Chains A and B, each alone.
Chain A
């Protein structure tokens, strides 16, 4: 079975500071990994995805994530956050094939001025 653990439920950070949102996964087979963002009263928007190839993945809005197979992690980073990055961030995993996406519990990023 696949599972995702997002270690921090909330991450407060000041504007222009760097941020890292942590994600660990569990899966017995090769994985596809995703980060989604959800703004208030909206659906989810894909930030970035890892399917194969380079372990450093760049996404939209200046976010990037690194796939670490030995640590089974897929942490999301941004070197300098903006107020508009305040949202909930979800890590998700799939082993491809017929399996559906499994989401983590989410991390609320609160960017303060």
Chain B
């Protein structure tokens, strides 16, 4: 059983397109996140959602919008893709107040051409 699953694993698209990356967790966690890892492997948080409320919103372009239909899902929608958006995007989840830490998905490699 996959704890945090992301789809697709790879995504190649042209500049200007709109795309979505899906994330689902089956751990019963109440908070989910999106991270971006650049070409130098630097991992930086983009968003987090707790009980359908956005609680962290880092300085990312507003072309990026997280959407959470329920506690188990946090999708990332990207409008008007740019070359600089090429990166690996990781979804993660955690449970507030627990000591079990953060569980990460396996990542989505986005390439904008």
Q: Report if A and B associate in a common complex.
A: no
A residues with CB within 8 A of B: none
B residues with CB within 8 A of A: none
